[in-house]
Amino acid sequence: MALVDFEAREIRHAMVSEENFATADAARDAGNDRLEAMANDR
């Protein structure tokens, strides 16, 4: 999933991670943090 600014022709945020997480909780926390950052970037 990506947040694209078509007017500026750039990708603002992408929901792709190459990180390996030790636990499902760690991955969930990282995903939630990224979603919160995207929401604050309006």
Which pLDDT value is given to residue 18?
64
Give CA–CA dist 20/18, Å, rounded.
7
Which pLDDT value is given to residue 16?
64
pLDDT tens figures, 1-42: 677 778 888 777 676 666 777 888 888 888 888 888 878 876
pTM summary value: 0.49
Which pLDDT value is given to residue 42?
62
Contacts by 28-31, CB closer than 8 A, 24 or more apart: none
**How big is the CA angle at 19 (ends 13 and 26), to the nearest 5 degrees?**
95
Which pLDDT value is given to residue 1?
66
